[in-house]
Amino acid sequence: MKTFISHKKLNNELRNSEGSLGLVPTMGSLHKGHISLIQKATANNTNVIVSIFINPTQFDEKQDLQNYPKNLQNDLQLLQNFPNILVYIPETNDLYPKRIKAKDYDFGKLDKIMEGEFRPGHFNGVATIVEKLFTIFYPDFAYFGEKDFQQVIIIKALVEQQELSTKIISCPTIRENDGLAISSRNQLLKEGYRKNAAIIHNSLLEAKQLMKSMNPSQLEKTVAAKFFNAEGVDLEYFKVLTNDSLAERKKFNKAEAYRAFIACKIGEVRLIDNIILT
């Protein structure tokens, strides 16, 4: 394992490398979900970069940026299990040399719903940093977790819009024993609130059963009603959309796949999740 704070030095390291290059972008505080992405990347590529960078332009609230969990020492210890990877740990000015500002993108409705509605500007920040990483390193493949499925769809749109050559590989969500999607934010849950978080995955599983007898709108309303009296849980949205285009439908169509999405606050910690329904 080699670490770099400069993208120029990392590119110099890769200059004479042969074979494919995989990229796993992270914001650190690594967990089993990240490790599964790195395992897939290292299994399928000769060279792998793991980036650790908390990107300031994708946070719509300064407090959220300040509170985001950080544990670089632990991250590097975990990454020692991958002796051949290249770890990119830049300072902000290596990626934002002039201004810390996101680009403006046009993703149509994709970034106006769900996370885009509740976190204005978030996806401009995500797309900005991903485009920077893709055009600095030109990876053949980049690996993202399906827990952030809306993000995956938007990054695929970014690649198409900007005519980038990187192929996006989406990887299944890794879960705790009770179904909660593993997230860096889970460690911020205060004692006593962790058990309340089980409602997130349970509601998604319930949606999968109820869709057999309901249309998407009925399904959304029925599941949302379960949260009215849920202790310590504040539902932000529950949506049922098409899997490929994140479009709303009045009825389910056997020719399409659908996915259920949820975001809620457990105490003060905001968590998101989703599952494929069909």
Rounded average pLDDT per 10-residue block, the chain, 278 residues: 98 95 98 98 98 97 92 97 96 97 97 97 98 98 98 98 98 96 94 92 97 97 95 96 98 97 96 97
Q: Which long-range contacts (CB under 8 A, 24 or more apart) does 97-103 make?
A: 100/56, 100/57, 101/57, 102/57, 102/58, 102/127, 102/128, 103/127, 103/128, 103/131
Specify the amino acid at residue 150.
Answer: Q
CA distances from 248 to 11, 46, 171, 242, 258 (A): 43, 41, 24, 7, 10
Active site includes 31? no
Q: How many residues does the chain have?
A: 278
Residue 229 has which token pair? 């009296």
Q: Could you tell me whether strands 269-276 and 258-266 are parallel, antiparallel, or unpaired per DSSP bridges?
A: antiparallel
Out of 7, 34, 122, 201, which one is annotated catalytic? 34
Q: What kind and span of H or E run contains 170?
A: strand 167-171
What does the domain layout of the chain look like in residue ranges?
2-171, 184-276
Cα 72 to Cα 263: distance, rounded to the nearest angstrom:
27
Class of CATH domain 2-171: alpha beta
Torsion angles phi and psi, residue 90, rounded to 5: -80, 155
Per the DSSP assignment, residues forming a β-bridge with 115 are: none
Per the DSSP assignment, residues forming a β-bridge with 167 are: 141
Cα 47 to Cα 94: distance, rounded to the nearest angstrom:
22
Q: Could you tell me whether strands 86-88 and 233-242 are parallel, antiparallel, or unpaired per DSSP bridges?
A: unpaired
CATH topology of domain 184-276: Pantoate--beta-alanine Ligase; Chain: A,domain 2 (3.30.1300)
Cα 78 to Cα 124: distance, rounded to the nearest angstrom:
30
- Among the listed residues 184, 181, 221, the one whose alpha carbon sits nearest the alpha carbon of residue 27: 184
The pLDDT of residue 192: 86
The pLDDT of residue 240: 98
Residues 6 or more apart in contact with residue 93 via CB below 8 angstroms = none
Most distant CA pair in the chain, distance: 60
